[in-house]
Amino acid sequence: MRRLRPVIGLLLIAAFVAMALLASVIAPYDPFKSSVEVIDPPSARHLLGTDELGRDILSRVIYGARTSLIIGLGAAICAMGIGVPVGLVAGYFGGRVDMLVVPLIDLFIALPGLVLALIITVMVGPNLLNLVLVLGFVMWPSVARLVRGQTLALRETLYIEAARAVGGGSAWIIRRHVWPNIMRVVAAQFAVSVSFAIFTSASLSFLGLGIPPPTPDWGGLVRAGFDFLSLNPLMSLAPGATVTATVMGFYLTGSSVR
């Protein structure tokens, strides 16, 4: 079963990436177009039914993949862009630099990620760019702590000592010897960060702090369908299932890389 994890994860990721890229081709209707067919149940015309404005739910779920993947990948890239350099510098140089960085990392990690993202989003306002930056800011301490730990373990190895002995500079050693040996762990953390960002953005959208309507967003679709569960449960269940499957795909891939 463990050997199947990366295969299942990559297949799920590939499916949702294809959904996002080909949304305009595979979506049966315009996700923004309203109609008089309000809260229709699933049928041959609308496989998942329609929402309170008569928009096709399947089309909105398909287009929602674009928003969720942009947020997930963008936030993970931001987190890596901050956390990796900070972790490398703190782990390699140690001393005062490490003493300054570690309390800062611990301070952020001590705060629940969703709560911190919620507070910051309320302050800066919900939109696509802000969500990417907020989630990246929330996740970078975890990345920095992981990279710092890996770098601490490597800096005392014999080949690092040999590189110093022959006159190798710190930047050269980090680039040539430290970074290549932690890339696999960082890649795993990247996949896990994407899954966390997608899940957290969906949670924020459910709380009303996600992408403003009418842009399709999986968390927002779950929240919109919450009031109509008795009429058409698929309004919430379909986007909720896509969030779960996407998060599972990135998590299985990341845990397999480790």
Is the CB of residue 64 less than 8 Å from the CB of residue 43? Answer: no
Alpha helical stretches, state H, the chain: 4-21, 23-26, 57-93, 95-110, 113-124, 128-155, 158-165, 170-173, 179-206, 218-226, 234-257
103: in domain: yes
User: Does any domain span residue 83?
Assistant: yes
Q: How far apart are CA 244 and CA 229, in angstroms?
A: 19
Residue 35 lies inside a defined structural domain of this protein: no
- pLDDT tens, 136-180? 999 999 999 999 999 988 888 888 888 888 877 888 888 888 888
Which residue range forms the structural domain that includes residue 246? 4-30+47-257
Band (pLDDT 50/70/90 cuts) for residue 257 is low
221: domain CATH number is 1.10.3720.10
Tell me, yes or no, whether 42 lies in a domain. no
Confidence tier at 11 by pLDDT (50, 70, 90): very high
**What pLDDT sits at residue 23?**
93
196 backbone φψ class: left, alpha, beta (φ>0; ψ -120 to 50): alpha
Burial label for 159, CB within 10 Å (0-12, 13-18, 19+), is: exposed
Q: Which amino acid is at 33?
A: K
Encoded tokens for 105: 């990392």
pLDDT digits (tens, 9 = 90+) for 41-56: 899 999 999 998 899 9
Counted domains in the chain = 1
Quote the pLDDT of residue 246.
92
Write the pLDDT tens digit of every residue in 204-248. Answer: 888 888 888 888 888 889 988 888 888 889 999 999 999 999 999
What pLDDT score does 4 carry?
Answer: 78
Tell me, what's the pLDDT at 258? 56
Measured distance CA(212)–CA(214) in Å, rounded: 6
Band (pLDDT 50/70/90 cuts) for residue 2 is low
What is the reported pTM? 0.89
Sign of CA dihedral 79, 81, 82, 84: positive
pLDDT of residue 58: 94
φ, ψ dihedrals at 95, nearest 5°: 60, -135
Give the chain's mean pLDDT.
Answer: 88
User: What pLDDT shows up at residue 81?
Assistant: 95
User: Is 39 contained in some domain?
Assistant: no
Residue 37 domain-assigned (yes or no):
no
Q: Is the pLDDT of residue 107 over 80?
A: yes
Angle at 40 between CA 208 and CA 234, to 5 degrees: 55
Which position has the higher pLDDT, 185 or 166?
A: 185
For the cut 90, the answer to whether the pLDDT of residue 84 exceeds it is yes
- Given this model, what pLDDT does residue 88 score? 93
Residues 6+ apart with CB under 8 A from 183: none
**Residue 172 covered by a domain:** yes
Mean pLDDT of 119-132: 87
Unique residue bearing structure tokens 């952020």: 108
Does residue 132 lie within any of the structural domains?
yes
